[in-house]
Chains A and B, each alone.
Chain A
Amino acid sequence: MITRAELRQIAANGVWKQNTSIVQILGLCPLLAVTTNLVNGVMLSLATIIVMALSGFAVAALRNFIPHEIRIPVFILIVAALVTVVDLLFNANLHELYNVLGIFIPLIVTNCIVLARVEAFANKNPPLQSMFDGVFMGVGMLWTLALLGGLRELIGAGTLFSGIDMVFPGLQPLQLLPADYPGLLLAILPPGAFILLGCMIAWKNWIEARAAARRQLRTDTALAAGN
């Protein structure tokens, strides 16, 4: 079973400390190509979360039966089978969105985040922990892709949630900036993704540096008080 402390640590690692997009900088290909708006980023992340949770569970459950020498091909087989399931599900239920995301859903199988977590975590830990690791790594990816997609969409087109009608047919995208906003096309293009991702990494490092400085100050004052 899984203890509360373990779960907390897995969650903290996935969402913040080992965040796939802004710490490990993994899976840049879908990140750059798909986050042209918020909905695409979130939906691709959701698909990835499903794949990661299931593959983490499956690989961890089978980890004692997989020969060490051929573990990578076996992992890929398992992941590919799960991706095919997700791919067919998207195609059947969210067909329009499936057309937009295109090749990037099948490509989840080659996403280094999935293989990295399977190899680094699920291969060495029990199934339940591995499943939660997959979920929280995916959640880390979800919020970074959502933030990046939202920023790119807002700066590039002045809207938010465009394409939401493909997921929830009744909803309409928000027009946040005035309708005559010309749109900084650069933000939608790949360079914009790189620049904004760089800003997000800098923001995360800045927060960490500030926290570290505060911790240092606290230990210093504690030491001074002790003396």
Chain B
Amino acid sequence: MMDFTTPPYLLKTASVQRVMLQVLAALLPGIAAYIWLIGPIVLVQLAIATLAALAAEAAMLKLRDKPLGLFLGDGSAVVTAWLIALTFPPLAPWWLLVVGVLFAIVVAKHLYGGLGQNPFNPAMIAFAVCIVSFPALMSQWPALGLKTSFGEQIDIVFGLAARVDAMTGATPLDAIKTALKLGEGAVDVPALLANQDIFGNFAGRGWEWVAAGYLIGGLWLWKRGIVSWHAPLGFIGGITLLAGALWLWNPAQFAGPLFHLFSGGAMLGAFFIVTDPVSGCTTPKGKFVFGFAAGLLAYVIRVFGGYPDGVAFAVLLVNICVPLIDMYTQPPIFGMKNEK
């Protein structure tokens, strides 16, 4: 804290590779919690996604006559791959991840012009494509009470053993959604949160700590100056506002903001998805608006929609609005006033 220097300062050049490596490092606390919760199969899924992403990236770079080493080493494909692996169900068959990764790298990234050109978040494209195409497989989240050995998990992922329905359970979000669908009085949400064994201290049991891991990693990214506070705060604010309002209005039917922030992909989304510098907004105010809109939409889709979580669709929908948001949130040039 005491190493004073005087301006002018030289900025450390932020290469794509440096940024991407720090993003990967920031994912580690969440991944560690995930492994503690599910088992080492998470690492296998990460490896499958990484290999598929690097292969797809190399093939596309070769097709487009781009320098292989420069772009392959920048780590952007690996970040996409990790985000895909972390958003897919951990016991998803290996080919599901490969399909998702191929869509993300080939269609969402390279068909739009490669690194820095994609209007949509590649990882979220992968999630949306797979959940639309294979809704059953993408909704099979492992039941927590059931312990499966690493060998059994490997067999399931690589299709050597049959997929058993009993191994999957309703996610906390599903349980809340079912309670809402059944209507007023059928299920009391506070009682549900307190009693059922899939719920933990403030969100889904176990999952809340994975989300907390992402939160820690995200805060570290913010501290390092890799991401600004605007988009994550907007996203968290959007979810909190809507969840809080509905919860205050009818606590018997809606879960509170804390539950929603630590469920599903909310924390991962807040710090690693809406902060994407390519598909997100570029102006500070715009980043906040972007995050806020994504947060509101994510809540609406996950609570009232038919899919298990809404973060992916929310982010993709707001991605379309990015040029508009950027246009209206242009900061004034230094020393000038914006024309009214």
Contacts and interface: CB of A to CB of B under 8 A. Distances in A.
B36 interface: no
B132 A185 contact: yes
A185 B134 contact: yes
User: What is the size category of the interface that chain B forms with chain A?
Assistant: under 10
Interface residues of A, number: 9
B144 interface: no
A185 B135 CA distance: 9
A195 interface: yes
A186 B137 contact: no
Contact of A195 (B99, B107, B134, B135): B107
B132 A182 contact: no
Classify the secondary structure of A's interface with B: helix
Interface in B133-155: 133-135, 137
Interface string A164-196: 000000000000000000111111010100010
A157 to B, nearest CB: 12
A187 B99 CA distance: 13
Nearest to A184: B133
B129 interface: yes
A185 B99 CA distance: 12
Contacts of B137: 182
Classify the secondary structure of B's interface with A: helix
Contact of B129 (A182, A183, A186): A186
A79 B134 CA distance: 42
A186 B135 CA distance: 11
Nearest to B107: A195
A216 to B, nearest CB: 20
A185 B133 contact: yes
A152 to B, nearest CB: 12
Contacts of A183: 133
A189 B132 CA distance: 9
Nearest to A186: B133
Nearest to B159: A180
Nearest to B135: A185
Interface in B106-131: 107, 129
Interface of A: 182-187, 189, 191, 195
Nearest first, the 9 closest Cβ-Cβ pairs linking A and B are A185-B133, A186-B133, A184-B133, A186-B132, A186-B129, A182-B134, A185-B132, A189-B132, A185-B134
17 contacts: A182-B134, A182-B137, A183-B133, A184-B99, A184-B133, A184-B134, A185-B132, A185-B133, A185-B134, A185-B135, A186-B129, A186-B132, A186-B133, A187-B133, A189-B132, A191-B132, A195-B107
